[in-house]
Structure 1
Amino acid sequence: MTLDLILIGLAITLEPFPVMAFILVLSADKGVRKGLAFILAWLACLVLVIACVLLFTGGTPPKPNTAPSTLSYAVKLAIGVGLILYGVHRRRKTARPRRDPESTAKRHNVSPWSAAGLAVLLQPWGLVAAGAATVMKADMSHAASWLTLMLYCILATASLLTMELYATFWPDAAGAKLTALRAWMTGHQDQAIVSLSLLLGFWLVGRNIYELV
């Protein structure tokens, strides 16, 4: 469980589109406060999903070779296949027009509430679902499971937290460097999405085929 959640958390935090949108939120007037609203909503989604899974399992992992256990592996296998198909599709369609985070942010006027709404809208829900299926294996009677879930949430938010702290304590330097980062990501977001989707997709497929067999 731990390794899977670490990889999923890293994939979530490296998703380029939310990062680009977050940079625009930070660049708005009183951007640090609006960035905090974005982060809190982002974290709230992760915690809510985890809480729902733990309520379903009672904090006890399903026994091996039972229907809930098989369902967990099957869900992650399906998500892995979906990520691979999406990565291949995205690779073939890199020239098509795509949504612009800047226009999205402008449509929402970048108020604190709209920043929170953007966080919910831009959450990579496919990856979050993979994390939820993995959390089914958590045994909450062990402190290690609590630490793993905390690490997962921190990793999934690490890029946003880093930029928020940077903009808070070094606002002058952050403005220029984050703008440059967004410009670089604009030209490389397709490659990043394809790579993340394929790498995590193949990992989930291989890992869960092995578990099912």
Structure 2
Amino acid sequence: MVLDLVLIGTAITLGPLHNSAFILLLSAHRGLLKGLVFILTWLAELVLVVAVVTLLTGGEPPARHSSPSVAGLVVKLVLGLALVVYGQHKRRRGASRSRGTPKWMARLDRVSAWTAAGLAVLLQPWGMVAAGGATAMNADLSSAASFLALMGFFLLATASVLAMELYATFAPARAHERLEWLRTAIDTHQDQAIVVLSLLLGLWLAGKSTYELVTLAA
């Protein structure tokens, strides 16, 4: 479970779309406030998904051969295959081409705090979050190790935007220049990043889930 959460959390935090949009939010009027709203909404979504799953399981991992355990593996398998298909689709469309800033992102310097919260919902990679929720089915909340693993997942999945918020707070002049450079780099390699993250995480989820399902059936 821990390794899966680390990989899923890393893929979420490295997603190019929300990172590029977040940098633009920081450059807006009262950008730090809007960035904070984005972060809190983003984190709340992650916590909500995991909380719902752990409430359904009672905070205890399902028995190895039980229906919930098999269902969790099937969900991860389907999500993994979906990520592979999506990544392959993006690759075939030409991931090597450069992209500029989308038109809707160019208007983020004028959005409200409520819109920033909405962006956190829209830009959340829900397929990956769902995979994190399916993985959290195996969490034992009476165990400190499982609790820390979930806290680590929340922190890791929020790490990129949290780091940028702190950077802009304590070194605003330097952060503006360097974050603009980072946004340009992200926009230029947006498709490549999506392809790599989707394929790597998708292959891992599909491969591991298939192995575990075959092991259960043996």
In structure 1, list runs of 5 or more residues that go unmatched: none
Q: CA deviation at 1:99?
A: 9.7
Tell me the equivalent position of 2:175. 174
Aligned to 1:111: 112
Q: Give ranges in structure 2 of 5+ residues lacking alignment.
A: none
1:71 matched residue in structure 2:
71
1:206: Cα distance to partner?
Answer: 1.0
RMSD: 1.8
Q: Aligned with 1:139: secondary structure?
A: coil
* Number of residue equivalences: 213
Following TM superposition, by how much is the alpha carbon of 1:98 offset from its aligned partner in structure 2, in angstroms? 8.1
Correspondence 1:196 to 2:185: no
Task: Please give the alpha-carbon distance, in whole angstroms, between the structure 2 residues aligned to 1:107 and 1:63.
Answer: 47
* TM-score (norm: length of structure 2): 0.93
Partner in structure 2 of residue 208 of structure 1: 209
- Amino acid in the other structure paired with 1:30: R
Alignment partners' CA distance in 1, 2:35 and 2:94: 29
Counterparts of 2:26 and 2:94 in 1: how far apart (Å)? 27
In structure 2, the residue matched to 1:124 is 125
Alpha carbons 1:6, 1:155 under 8 Å: kept: yes
Deviation at 1:104, TM superposition (A): 4.0
Identity value in percent? 60
* TM-score (norm: length of structure 1): 0.95
Tell whether the 8 Å contact from 2:41 to 2:120 is kept in structure 1 after alignment. Answer: yes
- Contact 1:38–1:119 (CA<8 Å) still a contact in 2? yes
CA distance in structure 2 between the aligned counterparts of 1:98 and 1:114, rounded to whole angstroms: 24
Per-residue CA deviation, residues 6-43 of structure 1 (Å, 9 max, x unaligned), is 00000000000000000010010111111000000000
Matched, 1:33 2:33: yes
User: Separation in 2 of the partners of 1:43 and 1:49?
Assistant: 10
Q: Distance in 1 between matches of 2:162 and 2:180?
A: 17
Equivalence for 1:59: 59
Q: Which residue of 1 aligns with 2:90?
A: 90
CA distance in 1: counterparts of 2:99 and 2:140, whole angstroms:
41
